[in-house]
Structure 1
Amino acid sequence: ASAKARLIDVFDLSDVQATYILDMPLRRLTKFSRIELEKESGELTTTIEELTAILDDDGNLRQVVSDELAAVGQQHATPRRTLLLEANASPAKSAVPLEVDDAPCIVLMSSTGLLARSADTEFDASADIARAAHDVIVSSVPATARGEIGLVTSAGRVLRLSVLDLPALPSVIGIPALSAGAPIGAFVDLPANEQALCLTTLDETGCIALATARGTVKRVVADTPGSKDSWEVIRLEDGDRVVGAVRLDDAAARTAELVLVTSDGQLLRFPATAVRPQGRAAGGMAGINLASGASVIAFGAFTPTDDAMLITIAGTTAALPGIDTGSMKVTPFAEYPAKGRATGGVRCHRFRSGEDLLTLAWVGNGPVRACSSSGVPVPLPTELGKRDATGVPVAAPVSHVAGSL
């Protein structure tokens, strides 16, 4: 009775199962154990033979080590972030104080989420320099080497960053490539559904202009909480998100235009002065009237110049992201008339057969650059399109577009 009770308690058996095991002859139980041991012994023998064959053959051993190193390298690979200036450079002791001067600089953010600071405060975009990976700069902001800046995210937050923590770039000719930059994740932890949109100053001048997917626009007055590492700059409705943000100084805010582009191929532009500045807790105001099922996919705030362009890429909802190249159109921004805030806009891209939405849009002053999701440069069409024309095929999938700094 005690054996039966222990079987039920230890192995969680039913009364019938325990009775069957106790009634089973001992020789049958021994046979089952022998079968299991013979199976395990066979597996161990096979493993020993395989390992012995590797150790006995030097070529086989080297191949196994090579395969394992390749697998480790692929699993833990990270892109090079060290900028090589000279092929045979030798280390030298610094002859200057190690303290960093609080000198003016500019902080840059690439399309791939890399951050860096540069002592160069101006860049010659017309320089005849070959393009490189990570050279699409989506945001830049003036700062000082020991100062602080803000990072605006799609959740309507600003996160404080120390400029001194960012990698310093050497002086370059043309637009810098941020291959030596550091990823945003090295400084702040963002949830998977929250993206960095732009950089901003933390002084009491200028404003942040932003727009949400549901067509709301807002100009946020310069108001930085001194003791917080992050704070909200807009009250978002459930399910809404910020799709674009731009820092405007006081002079630019008087001449800039706000531009919204929707997923169904509509564009609306109106003066930034049509949106009165609001405090951080406000929810903004209506920017564009959206058709059913449409959303805002791009936002720009800038003072148009002669080389201002609109870039649109059309695709289909059935395509996998990053696979379908779609059709791209490059159109002079002057082609599109201005309208009042909270209107419906004008058509900016006519869809081809099979296309049903804009997958990407960008508007701003040129020269314009495009790249893939990994930061590899992608050439733009050389021919300009008409205001509501269709696009042309693209050489490779485009993930980001940016213009002048």
Structure 2
Amino acid sequence: MQKEGERLIPINIVDEMKSSYIDYSMSVIVSRALPDVRDGLKPVHRRVLYGMYGLGVFSNRKYLKSARIVGDVLGKYHPHGDSSVYDAMVRMAQDWSLRYPQVDGQGNFGSMDGDPPAAMRYTEARLKKISDEVLSDLDKETVDFQNNFDDSLQEPTVMPTKVPNLLVNGTSGIAVGMATNMAPHNLSESVDAICAYIDNKEITIDELMQHIIAPDFPTGGIIYGYDGVRDAFHTGRGRVVLRAKVNFEEIGNRNAIIVTEIPYQVNKAEMIARTAELVKDEKIPGIHEIRDESDRKGLRVVYELKNDAIPNVVLNLLYKYTALQTSFSVNNIALVHGRPEQLNLKDIIHHFVEHRHEVIVRRTQYELKKAKERAHILEGFMKVIGTQDALDRAISIIRHSANPQAAKEGLIEAFELSDIQAQAILDLRLARLTGMELDKIRDEYDAIMKEIENLEDILANEPRRFQIIKEELIEIKEKYGDERRTEIDYSGGEMSIEDIIPNESVVLTISHAGYVKRTSLSEYKIQSRGGVGNKAATTRDSDFLEYIVSATNHQYMLFFTEKGRCYWLRVFEIPEGSRTAKGRAVQNLINIEPDDKIKAYIRTNNLKDSEYVNQMSVVMVTKNGTIKKTSLEAYSRPRVNGVNAIEIRDNDQLLGAYLTNGTSEIMIATKNGKCIRFPEEKVREVGRGSIGVRGIAMEDNDEAIGMIVVNDVENETVLVVSEKGYGKRTAVEDYRITNRGGKGVITLNITEKTGNLIAIQNVTDEDGLMIINKSGVAIRMGMDEMRVMGRNTQGVKLINLKKNDEIAAIAKVEMDKDVEEDSEELEEGEEGVGTLFDDQEENTAPQTENENTAEENSDSEE
């Protein structure tokens, strides 16, 4: 009912709702949910820091009750509920929430399992050291202040931060009609990028990305793929895929997946509970038990597997169905001059640098003003007490004045002082009138004048101001910079990793039991022929290294199994291990069947190069002498579960696979010392599903041991090695060209002393040779040490073997002439170690009369 004197004003409800909702939404956007681009803080975080600044709880002071801090912030600056302030302060203290925490909390501040913090009356807090840099120079009129909610106090509108807080800590918030989700980054990388921008304002985002590589999350983990990162840096929006950091261990007789880092913002307890439900519902088979073994030393979640489970398959299911793989949707929206804007990487850096420049200017102006005020007073001192007569005259004026005001006026009139100078003279203590104090005043005046000159130069010299910004940033980096926590798996995306991963030479080793590793070639030092060798790998009982291959990080590895399937890996995807490391079971890297085994491999270049894959062919040979040729293009589309490569018959086995270019020559050797040479065109190209044709005819007790592909007949030589350490180099021309399917000629006279032939390789003087025996001892030697000899010889001893040891494998490697010879050889008496070569006899006895057995020219298909 309308009261007397009141007037009703009719308002359209639609217009009122629009106006009120816009006011509300702008309040949420500007005063609650979005950070300022300059300091990266929302109002509540800024008020927490300023409240703690006002209470003096700096990093070098004692802790203060959280309730006291929250109460002060609420009463002075933040008119909302106490939980809004305390929850914000708690997050600022959690090292799994912020990359660089700003509050130092004491007590229960929650956990990664989602446990709530203790009540504010139980916890204590103070500022972190890095927060001192955020608040630095706040008292030097560097930023604007505004009235608080009741106009009783002033609060800063922005912090004069030296730390690029928006970049390094990120933020997230939901406003009205928009949201922000900014990823944290590494401080050292961010400083490097900002300094690069200061040096070159026209720098491109791609050039900035050479410094600030990707987000760096406080919980570590792995960024899987780079496309989302690139999109976020270029546009301000992108989807970054995060994976947990895992490794494989053997616990008892079971394999286990060990998680040591989880994706950002994942609740560990919920993740484990959800995984347990999926295991119970049989959506993730193969898991026997899940345990959380995390403690103060770090995070550790154990997924113990069943005996028949393939670790790599289980891990892929965990990535697919659980929070071991999540995505972080970057949406860089922040307030620029009070308006929300979407920002790319360069925009964020630009606005931070502009803010720092303004802070430097205002700080310098403030310091200049203070310096001039002090100089003005010092000038007054020197006028009045600079000489004994002037001092006596001033004292006389003061003594004969009726009151301070009269004394001040007398001094002003007598010495032509300003009011401020005269008051400063009256405020002087008598002790300052001594001769020594006068000298100090003169020295202080000289120092002040130099400081004024310096400050005026800073204000007049813009390049110098930017240099100061750089110097302060570099100081921040030296104080608080650290190593990147989040790794990047470029293979998960489309980025060309050739620009990221150095294409260095490596040695890949594969053991008989299927353990594989990648080791830098420089770890294997060069030794002379007949050397002792050095320990190459730690293998399991009854295991030995079976394959060694030199490669570069950018190449592909195609693995062929004894069941005739083919699998793919990039070389850099194979885990790196030291020379003595056991390596990783290949079943953990590719989805090979449990009862299958790797029998051959080839290295290829880029499989996406259509011209390359159509020019090259894959030639395979089996133990029974079957040979098969297929275009590399048939293997150029990698599949997770592999593809059929060759049909293997009963009692046969794949021995090797090789790349050919269409004009190569093929040589196949057998364990009884026979070898055949024929042109590649003698083998017609067939599809992946075919069996192949006969490569060499053998006696019943014989079998093929390997094949080589010769491309340079004049310069390449044939190296054959027997199981008891004998070998020789022979010119390719010594083996005459025949048709495919013949019996071949004798390549090594097999005796009890030499043992059966185990390897054939094509080498030149520039090549190196890696020899490894079944006990794990390796020797690396240069082929230039081994002269070329006739096919009619037994060869020389390459490595001395002890205790019935045998050679397991040889591989051709590149020789690094700058590598010094390895002097740290194994002790002579150590088990399984050869001795220095001392019996370099060369047997040139003629071979048997049956050496030149007529070749069979059968071309029949098998």
TM (norm. structure 1) is: 0.59
Contact (CA 8 Å) 1:313, 1:358: kept in 2 or not?
A: yes
Quickly say closer, same or farther: Cα 1:364–1:93, change in 2 above 3 A: farther
Compare relative contact order (CA 8 Å, sep 6+) and give the higher one, 1 or 2. Answer: 1
Give the equivalent residue in structure 2 for 1:347: 746
Kept after mapping to 1: 8 A contact 2:564/2:645: yes
1:293–1:403 Cα change, 3 Å: same
Letter in 1 for 2:774: S
Aligned residue number for residue 157 of structure 1: 565
1:384 is displaced (CA, Å) by: 5.4
Percent identity for Structure 1 against Structure 2? 17
Q: 1:371 to 1:140 in 2, by over 3 A?
A: closer
- Pick aligned residue for 2:648 from 218, 236, 240: 236
Q: Displacement of 1:387 after TM fit?
A: 0.9
Computed over aligned residues only, the root mean square deviation of the Cα atoms, in angstroms, reads 3.9
- In 2, Cα distance between equivalents of 1:143 and 1:273: 32
Aligned counterparts of 1:180 and 1:375: Cα–Cα separation in 2: 10
TM-aligned CA distance change 1:388 to 1:327, over 3 Å: farther
After TM superposition, list the pairs within 5 Å mapping 1:271-282 onto structure 2: 271-282=679-690
d(CA) in 2 for partners of 1:163, 1:367: 20
In structure 2, what is the equivalent of residue 103 of structure 1? 497
In the superposition, the TM-score normalised over structure 2's length comes to: 0.30
Aligned equivalents of 1:151 and 1:379: distance in 2? 25
SS in 2 for 1:155: coil
The reply to whether residue 94 of structure 1 matches residue 499 of structure 2 is: no
Work out which of the residue numbers 648, 666, 675 in structure 2 matches 1:267: 675
**Superposed displacement of residue 168, structure 1:** 4.8
Partner of 2:809: 400
In 1, Cα distance between equivalents of 2:582 and 2:483: 21
**For the residues of structure 1 that align with 2:482 and 2:527, how far apart are their CA atoms?**
32
1:10-34 Cα shifts (integer Å, max 9, x gaps): xxxxxxxxxxxxxxxxxxxxxxxxx
Task: Specify the code of the residue in structure 2 equivalent to 1:371.
Answer: I
Secondary structure of 1:329 counterpart: strand
SS, match of residue 681 in structure 2: helix
Q: Secondary structure at the match of 1:273?
A: helix
Given that residues 548 and 811 in structure 2 are in contact (C-alpha distance below 8 angstroms), is that contact kept between their aligned partners in structure 1? yes
> Aligned letter for 2:800?
A
Contact 1:208 1:245 in 2 (8 A): yes
User: What is the SS of the residue equivalent to 2:488?
Assistant: coil
1:120-145 residue CA offsets vs partner (Å, 9 max, x unmatched) = xxx79998579754499733556649
Structure 1 position 348, deviation (Å): 0.7
Which whole-Å CA distance do the structure 1 matches of 2:549 and 2:484 have between them? 34
1: distance between equivalents of 2:725 and 2:484?
55
Corresponding letter in the other structure for 2:488: E
1:320 paired residue number: none
Q: CA offset at residue 375 of structure 1?
A: 3.6
Which stretches in structure 2 are left out of the alignment for 5+ residues? 1-251, 254-480, 491-495, 538-544, 815-862
Deviation by residue 1:315-365 (Cα, 9 ceiling, x = unmatched): xxxxxxxxxxx361312242322322111211111133x479624122222
Equivalent residues of 1:125, 1:367 under 8 A apart: no
For residues 601 and 550 of structure 2, what CA distance do their matches in structure 1 show? Answer: 8
Match of 2:625 in 1: 215
Residues 339 and 133 (structure 1), Cα distance of their counterparts in 2 relative to 1, 3 Å cut: farther
Q: Is the 8 A contact 1:264 1:356 kept in 2?
A: no
Bigger fraction of residues in strand: 1
- Asked if structure 2 preserves the Cα contact closer than 8 Å seen for 1:264 and 1:357, the reply is no
In the alignment, structure 1 segments of 5+ residues that lack a partner are 1-74, 77-91, 170-175, 315-325
**Partners of 1:231 and 1:198 in 2: how far apart?**
14
2:489, 2:653 → 1: CA distance? 38
CA distance in 2, matches of 1:193, 1:228: 16
Give 1 or 2 for the bigger CA radius of gyration.
Answer: 2
Cα pair 1:378 1:395 within 8 Å, conserved: no
Q: For 1:404, what is the secondary structure of its paired residue?
A: strand
Alpha carbons 1:244, 1:300 under 8 Å: kept = no
Q: Secondary structure at the match of 1:223?
A: helix
- Taking a change above 3 Å as real, the CA distance of residues 132 and 255 of structure 1, as seen in their structure-2 partners, is farther
Contact 1:307 1:367 in 2 (8 A): no
Matched, 1:198 2:608: no
Q: Distance in 1 between matches of 2:729 and 2:666?
A: 17
Aligned pairs for 1:291-330 within 5 A: 291-304=699-712, 306-313=715-722, 326=724, 328-330=726-728
Instruction: Supply the distance in 1 between the matched residues of 2:584 and 2:762 (Cα, whole angstroms).
Output: 26
Give the Å deviation of 1:255. Answer: 3.7
The residue number in structure 1 matching 2:86 is: none
Q: What SS is found at the alignment partner of 1:280?
A: coil
1:116 and 2:518 aligned: yes
Any conservation in 1 of the 2:676–2:745 contact (CA below 8 Å)? yes
Maintained 8 Å contact 1:369/1:403: yes
1:364 equivalent in alignment to 2:765: no
1:386 aligns to 2:790 (yes or no): yes
Corresponding residue of 1:186:
588
Q: Is the 8 A contact 1:138 1:402 kept in 2?
A: yes
Matched with 2:235 is none
Q: 1:331 to 1:371 in 2, by over 3 A?
A: same
Pair 196,362 (structure 1): closer, same or farther in 2 beyond 3 Å: same
Could you report, residue by residue, the CA deviation over 1:51-88 in whole angstroms, capped at 9, with x for unpaired residues? Answer: xxxxxxxxxxxxxxxxxxxxxxxx99xxxxxxxxxxxx
Contact 2:695 2:741 survives alignment (8 Å): yes
Determine helix, strand or coil for the equivalent of 1:299.
strand
Asked if 1:376 is matched to 2:376, the reply is: no
Structure 1 residues 163 and 400 mapped into 2: Cα distance closer, same or farther (>3 Å)?
A: closer
Instruction: Indicate how the Cα distance of structure 1 residues 272 and 177 shifts in structure 2: closer, same or farther if over 3 A, else same.
Output: farther
Distance in 1 between residues matched to 2:570 and 2:768, nearest whole Å: 30
Amino acid at match of 1:280: R
